[in-house]
Amino acid sequence: MKFSPGFSIEPTTRPMGFQYGPGTFGPPVNRRSLDEIRKSLLDPSCSGPDPVYAIAMDIGKMEHRSQLIQRNLLYGAVTYAVGRLGREPVRSQGHIHRIARSNRLSPPEIYEVWSGEAVIYMQERVDADPGRCFAVRTLPGQAVIVPPGWGHAAISANTLEPLTFGAWCDRDYAFDYEGVRSRRGLAWYPILAEDGTLRWESNPQYRPQGLEEKSPSDYSDLGIRSGVPIYTIFEENPDLLRLVTEPDRHVDIWTRFVP
């Protein structure tokens, strides 16, 4: 990988998943088939790699396992296949996070790219009016924060290299796909041009809304430092990750938040 996440883990391709190194715990992976994500794609009948991606939720250093449970924190990793899904790049289907039992909010998430190139797409809501929409182009070693309640998806921006990334989320996490699937996806579809560049096509199931394409914001005021693994940030100061598990205590941060 181009960027080390701060613990021993390597993505695998045959089969798609992860290999956990010394001192690292992790579960068997969950692989998403193409059929499972068709309802959120521009062309639900398209061809593409199958499985599309593999997810491992609840990973980390063995020495931190009890602390992660106590703090209600969960670290996950995802690796993508190479290729396209019809006119779109390989991507996740898009979702929001279900309401957490601990604080009755849809939890935020902190992404970190390890290899490949990602666009973290997000929108404020998954109802008819999506609100503000952002496409954040993210390189290895960069982090992106998705605020509470926002619909989002991770998109591979390089068709020649697998995208692999990690993320912090609340241990009460669960993916809610219903709102996204009911509108045949999120408010904007990523489209690969013939030259491999990425453009965007609006989803007519939503009210017209602009899209801001940008690089990740500077999150240093939140303790998230570019080039420092988000797992290392947890090791150095676990309380910083209360941003994820206690979003209700950080309402001032989420007001007009720009990712």
Structural domains in the chain, CATH included, are 9-248 (2.60.120.10)
pLDDT of residue 142: 97
Alpha-carbon distances of 224 from 63, 110, 138, 142, 257, rounded to whole Å? 22, 9, 15, 10, 15
- The model's pTM is 0.96
Query: What is the per-residue pLDDT across 193-206, written as a single tens digit (0 to 9) for each?
Result: 888 889 999 999 99
Task: Quote the pLDDT of residue 81.
Answer: 97
Amino acid 196: pLDDT: 82
Cβ atoms 41, 25 nearer than 8 A? no
| Low-confidence residues of the chain: pLDDT under 70 | none
